[in-house]
Structure 1
Amino acid sequence: MLTGPSHRIRCPMKITKLSTFRVAPRWMFLKVETDEGIDGWGEPVVEGKSLSTEAAVHEFAPYLVGQDPMRINDLWQVMYRGGFYRGGPTLMSAIAGIDQALWDIKGKALGVPVYQLLGGLVRDKMKVYSWVGGDRPSDVIRDIKRLHERGFDTFKMNGSVEMGPLDNSAKVDAAIARIAEIREAFGNTIEFGIDFHGRIGLPMAKTMLRELEPHRPLFVEEPVLAEQDEHYARLAQHTSIPLAAGERMYSRFEFKRVFEAGGLAIVQPDPSHAGGISECLKIAAMAEAYDVALAPHCPLGPVALAACLHLDFVSHNAVLQEQSIGIHYNQGVEPLDYVLNPEDFVIQDGYMLPFTKPGLGVVMNEAHIREASLRAPDWRNPLWRHEDGSVAEW
């Protein structure tokens, strides 16, 4: 019988603590600690519902503390299936941030970036795009010029102000005129997607898509709300513009119905909302099987962006990556304010390179995060109303 220190069975690493930090502008970071001193970071948040998400994270803690963080698949299933009620933005966002932190721990423990644990790179760099124009799009030409000079050639903007189920031609003309100006100013030197944010219903969506066609946007996002996803296929039959959606869908079980029905050309799961890297990897593979492109949603912070990029770098159908540097929500703070390695987030000629550090590749500035969390704002999205006083989609 072999004895001695070199033949002792090594005890598995154990999770010891989960800590959450709500910070400006509307984000939340999660730190998962272990008994071996290896920490992982995640970004679980529902924008505007951070307190609910924070509570959900800590409700999962009893399932996690004392467990081996390397068993990501098992812990994911425990969190998802361990409760009778499951799914939805709050629970899946809580799982998402925890999942990100577990992958961060595993990569650090093994000394490799997460994408290596997922099979390795399928591309050398990832195309990213920038937001312009704000909630009610304005100054779009100015913003595009400024960012174009910095190397960006792909953008996204909100497509309209609030619109009723059957709205007037003046609003349609104003929205289309803005897009026409962009094409006139920049021609084909840039590309842009248009986000309807679910602000318009099916009747107006048909009209808007028809009027937009001559200007050839790269895609139209959320032409109708996610809960009206049965209309995606019908709308796709009436337009040549690629349709995109998915930021308000939270698991493969929701996405499967959309894939089966057809209509989407681009799917946009959010690794901070749709169950983390583990779940979004499955969604990406499902999308590839249906010949649907992947463009992960990410108007959030540095951990969320890193999680997206690891997914992009192992998914053959990934085409675009949203990022929030300079987005209109970032009042007085930017994603890189919370990291100690901003050099790893450099955007060069509209692309980002793979991280080289182990885990997610993000070195968080914990001291600053803790201090910032003491004055975290309770962010809420605007509440809009139509002229008749009824609530409008934001």
Structure 2
Amino acid sequence: MKVTAIQTFIVDGGFRPWTFVKMETDEPGLIGWGDCTDWGSPGPVAATVERLSELVIGRDPMQVEAIWWDLTAATMRHVGGIAWKAMAGIDSALWDIRGKALGAPVWQLLGGKMRDRLRLYWSHCGTVRARFADRLGLPRVETTDDLRALAEEVLARGFTAIKTNLFPLRDRPETQALMSRMTHHGGDAPPEVIRNAQAIVGTFREALGPDVGIALDVAFTYRLGGAIKLARALEPYELMWLETETLDPEALRLVRESTRTPICTGESLFGTHQYKPYLQLHAQDIIMPDLAWNGLTMGKKIADMAHAYDTLVAPHNCHSPLTTLVSAALCATIPNFYILEFDVDDPPWRDEIMTHPLEIEDGFLKLSDRPGLGSDLIEAELRKHPPGHYPGVR
């Protein structure tokens, strides 16, 4: 069996573009799908997939490991970033083909499942409706009352955890100062930012009760001192985690040692070599590798390394439904799985592009028993949703 063609599709994903990889073989009807969604540079990622395809077409798709390391060697001067995202899309498509060829779900090939369903958390809860409600036809979230109404929806749908971000609330007195300080504070966490964070997290905590997990994602916004201030200020709300990023693992260890708020990081890291210093320093409680950027081959190695360092894994998974299936294949097989990210507020055509839509009930994803990743994408449906409204995407 040989790979005969590789093609990419950039698709409207509502508040970000989705980037898919379609891989064909010389076996009639045997194709694989992968995801290498990049929110900011889908065009360059797709172009890199096309370039790397020259090294994959003609190869045996069953040689997933060999192809991964050959592509790693070919991109050695570009470790991480766009190159590895392109590699991840190719890698997932190879795993999909391998599973289909063997008549087995990918999780079976990774060692067999340890669980039949995966706990999900509602990601960007409130954030999507604060920033993209009109685009997606969703109710707007602008006030603490809107957050309370959203919390009722979370409970009604059976979710046991959420993740949100910081955005100005219209009914809060610090909003005007916040608008000018949210992105111009040099990495500090000034008082109005702290109060806004407490208002968002505190409202959710009051409305959701003590047992629902609440995570806050601030990415690279705050430097060492600001992250410590924020983590300490949110201790009364018993966060599931504060998600904060830095390229300095020792700085992150200081944050973790300065607060009882659990720390999560890692969505922007690539490969075991980048995770290693964070794990060695026990700089965080949870890591969140992104499998659309690391691929299944490397993702499994990262998760196994995290287990050796007594660290939980909660994959970064705010891309397409295909990435959810890729992530699910990994999460089913690792002992240190914690919880999986999931964007509930996706565009209404999410299920329409899949031959077998995701099965979600009471905040849990049911694991698919179908060969490969568990669903193909429908090419005709993908073409109905071009990403024309995203600047810079062609």
With the length of structure 1 as denominator, give the TM-score of the two structures.
0.87
Counterpart of 2:20? 29
1:116 is matched with which residue? 108
Equivalent runs, 1:193-204 vs 2, <5 Å: 193-204=215-226
What is aligned with 1:226? 246
* Equivalence for 2:362: 349
SS in 2 for 1:85: helix
Amino acid in structure 1 at the alignment position of 2:203: E
**Displacement after TM superposition at 1:168 (Å):** 2.9
| Alignment of 1:292 onto 2:311 | yes
Specify which of 373, 378, 389 is matched with residue 390 of structure 2.
378
CA distance in 2, matches of 1:305, 1:240: 30
Tell me the distance in 1 between the aligned counterparts of 2:389 and 2:99. Answer: 32
Q: CA, structure 1 residues 186+227, in 2 after alignment: closer, same or farther (shift >3 Å)?
A: same
Task: Give the 3-state SS of the residue equivalent to 1:272 in structure 2.
Answer: helix
Code of the aligned partner of 1:354: L
**Hey, what's the Cα distance between the residues in 2 that align with 1:166 and 1:292?**
28
Instruction: Tell me which residue corresponds to 2:148.
Output: 141
Distance 1:122 1:250, change over 3 A: same
* 1:41 equivalent in alignment to 2:42: no
Aligned counterparts of 2:230 and 2:166: Cα–Cα separation in 1: 9
Where 2:9 maps in the other structure, the secondary structure is: strand
- Letter of the aligned partner of 2:80 in structure 1? G
Aligned to 1:337: 352
8 A contact 1:28–1:44 mirrored in 2: yes
Kindly report structure 1 stretches of 4+ aligned residues shifted beyond 4 Å. Answer: 135-138
User: What's the counterpart of residue 312 of structure 1?
Assistant: 331
Deviation sequence 1:127-171 (CA, Å, 0-9, x none): 001121116684332222112101112100014662513353122
State the 1:240 CA deviation: 1.2
1:18 aligns with 2:40: no
CA distances 1:84-127 after superposition (whole Å, capped 9, x unpaired): 41312201110101000000000000101000111101112110
Q: For 1:170-249, what aligned pairs fall within 5 Å after superposition? A: 170-222=192-244, 225-249=245-269
Question: What does residue 99 of structure 1 align with?
Answer: 91
Q: Quick one: distance in 2 between partners of 1:127 and 1:78?
A: 35
Moved more, 96-105 or 191-200: 191-200
Which of 269, 273, 287 aligns to 2:293? It is 273
**Percent identity at matched positions?**
30
Contact 1:42 1:97 in 2 (8 A): yes
Alignment match, 1:385: none
1:52 offset after TM fit, Å? 0.7
What is the root-mean-square deviation in Å for CA atoms of aligned residues? 1.8
Amino acid at match of 1:339: M
- Pick from 357, 361, 366: which aligns with 2:379? 366
Q: CA deviation at 1:303?
A: 1.2
**Partner AA of 1:307 in structure 2:** V
Unaligned runs of 5+ in 2: 131-140, 169-181
1:56-85: per-residue Cα shift (whole Å, max 9, x none)? 101101111111000001000110112341
Q: Are the counterparts in 2 of residues 269 and 280 from structure 1 also a CA contact under 8 Å?
A: yes
Secondary structure, in 3 states, of the residue corresponding to 1:147?
Answer: helix
> Which amino acid in 1 is paired with 2:127?
G
CA distance in 1, matches of 2:307, 2:335: 8
Q: 1:379 to 1:353 in 2, by over 3 A?
A: farther
Q: 1:230: how far off?
A: 2.7
Deviations 1:287-345 (A, max 9, x none): 0000100000011112111000000000110110011231xxx4x44532311212xx1
Q: Matched residues in 1 for 2:305 and 2:267: separation?
A: 16
Rg: which structure is higher? Answer: 1
Counterparts of 2:90 and 2:344 in 1: how far apart (Å)?
24
Indicate which of 42, 64, 70 corresponds to 2:62.
70
State the 1:346 CA deviation: 1.8
Structure 2: distance between partners of 1:173 and 1:280: 37
User: Which residue of structure 2 aligns with residue 10 of structure 1?
Assistant: none
The alpha carbon displacement at 1:260 in A equals 1.2
Which is further off, 55-64 or 193-202?
193-202
Q: Deviations over 1:19-52 (max 9, x none)?
A: 1110002111110000012100001122110011
Q: Quick one: distance in 2 between partners of 1:256 and 1:201?
A: 21
Please tell me whether the aligned partners of residues 42 and 303 of structure 1 are also in contact (alpha carbons under 8 angstroms): yes
Contact 1:21–1:369, Cα closer than 8 Å, also in 2: yes
Cα pair distance change 1:380/1:247, threshold 3 Å: farther
SS at match of 2:280: helix
Gaps of 5+ in 1: 1-12, 382-394
Equivalent of residue 161 in structure 2, options 151, 154, 157: 154
Partner of 1:9: none
* SS of alignment partner, residue 63 of structure 1: coil
3-state SS of 2:98 partner: helix
